[in-house]
Structure formats: structure tokens, C-alpha cells
Amino acid sequence: MIVVDSLSKAFKRKGRRVRGESRHVQAIEKVSFTAADGKITGLLGSNGAGKSTTLRILATLMKADSGNASIDGYDIGADALQARQSIGFMPHNAGIYPRLTARENVRYYANICGVPPQQAEKRIAQLVEMLDMAGFIDRRAEGFSQGQKTKVGLARALVHSPQTLILDEPTNGLDVMATRGLREIIRQVADDGHCVLFSSHIMQEVEALCDQISIISNGRIAISGSHDSILKNTKQTNLEDAFVAAVNPQSISTHTSEVPQ
């Protein structure tokens, strides 16, 4: 389970500043939400909303300026190593090593995570079948399609059998069939009792897959809840309108009541 409480992070502004402009850019501010085991939680927001910053903090790749978060009961600040051992993280644009084969990429990460060699090979074999990677598992990653890279990145994130899976825009660049296949895999992981948190700017994807949704805008959580509860609280009939109502209530006609923040 992931529990996020008031995370904030600002970055120093690059380049020459306009007079009166702040020295810092506030990436996220007081972000709070939960993601439960056995559920798929979607962090939905437009590009630049703060999704990747939030996930990178949860993956212990950067530190928040303030606030707290825990992964499976481990504080990501005080118990970063233990929290990291509970996480399988797939960053945006998987970032696999092009000169290694798919198998070597996954094996290398298993070694980093301390998975014993025999156990790692058994787990890799399971993932090859689960992710349908037999056709390219022993090919060099250089020249892989986006779908193949995504599968390798996902296998790498799952090789140490983490309780919590964090995915940053996992379907980016995938075709329709690859996206459908990945959705099935994510659902299977959640059905096996794992916590799955993923970010996306694609509403149809979040609507089709997620048990819980947190909408983020300008670094803040605008609203969280199940799909149905978000529609009810925003008094909308579809997620797209609910998203607009949550992030910009003034754009909704006057007969719509104020969105809870």
C-alpha cells in the first residue's frame, strides 16, 4: 500500500528569469492520496501536472522538500532502502540498455535487487511467458520497438516480485494491441494482490483500468476517488467532463455545483 501525505517539491528555475519571476518552479504542492493493495490507482493529469515528479519521489529517486509517504509501511525518507525493496518501478521511456539482450537487461536488474541466480532465472522464465517475450528475449535491445522496450522495462520492474508496482506513463508510444495486452498484465498483477500505481494523461485508459483515480493539476491533487464517486462529486456524466470540472470549476456552467477540493 502507498500512503502519500502532503508531498511538495520545487526545482530551481533554469536560464534567465523575467524580472519579478520566482527563482523556483513548484512541481508539486501538498500532494496526498492512497493506493491500496489489490487495486489499480491512476494518477491522471496533463503533461507537466506533476505526475512524474510524484512517482520519482515515491520511487526514492529524489527527495521531497516537505511531506511524507510510505510504501508498505516503510517511510520513503527514513526507511528508503526497505521501501525501495518493495517497489518495482518503470520510468517513462523504460531506459533499457541497448547493448544488452532483453534477458541480460532483466537479469542485471535481478542481480542489483539481490535475487539469487537460480531464482532469478526461474522468475525470468515466468516473465517471458507472462509478457510474451519469447520472440526477442535473447536479442539485443538496440532496435527494439516501443512495445518490446516496454515489456522489457516491465519485466525488469517485476523480476524481484515486488509488492508495489509504480509505472510512469507505461502505454506511451504503444499501438492498440500492445496497449490492450499491457492492460491485461496490469490487471493480473493487481488481481494477485499487488498495489499498482500508474500515471497517465489518457482518460480512456484510466477509465477502463483504474479502481481509484487521483486527478492532479498544477502540482496539486484536485480530486480523488473511484470513477463513480468522481462523477458524482463533480456532477458530470463522463470522466473527461469530470476532469475539466475538477481542475477548472469555472469552466463548467453555473448550474454545476462547486467541485470538492
pTM comes to 0.88
Pick the CATH number of 1-11+25-86+162-171+191-251 from 3.40.50.300, 3.40.50.1240, 3.30.430.20, 3.90.1150.170: 3.40.50.300
pLDDT at residue 57 greater than cutoff 90 = yes
Beta strands 212-217 and 24-35, pairing class: unpaired
Please report the pLDDT score of residue 19 as a whole number.
Answer: 63
Please report the pLDDT score of residue 101 as a whole number.
Answer: 97
Residue-wise pLDDT for 148-196, tens only, equals 999 999 999 999 999 999 999 888 877 888 888 888 889 999 999 999 9
Give mean pLDDT, residues 34-60. 94
Beta strands 2-12 and 40-44, pairing class: unpaired
Give mean pLDDT, residues 25-30. 94
Residue environment code for 33-62, b if the CB has 16+ CB neighbours within 10 A, otherwise e: bbbbeebbbbbbbeeebbbbbbbbbbbbee
Amino acid letter for position 164: T
Residue-wise pLDDT for 107-157, tens only, equals 999 999 999 999 999 999 999 998 889 999 999 999 999 889 999 999 999
Question: How would you classify residue 55: left for phi > 0, otherwise alpha for psi between -120 and 50, otherwise beta?
Answer: alpha
Please report the pLDDT score of residue 177 as a whole number.
Answer: 83
User: Which run of H or E residues covers position 188?
Assistant: helix 176-191
Please report the pLDDT score of residue 122 as a whole number.
Answer: 96
pLDDT at residue 12 greater than cutoff 90 = no
Intervals of CATH 3.40.50.300 along the chain: 1-11+25-86+162-171+191-251
Please report the pLDDT score of residue 250 as a whole number.
Answer: 66
Please report the pLDDT score of residue 68 as a whole number.
Answer: 95
pLDDT at residue 254 greater than cutoff 60 = no
pLDDT at residue 73 greater than cutoff 90 = yes
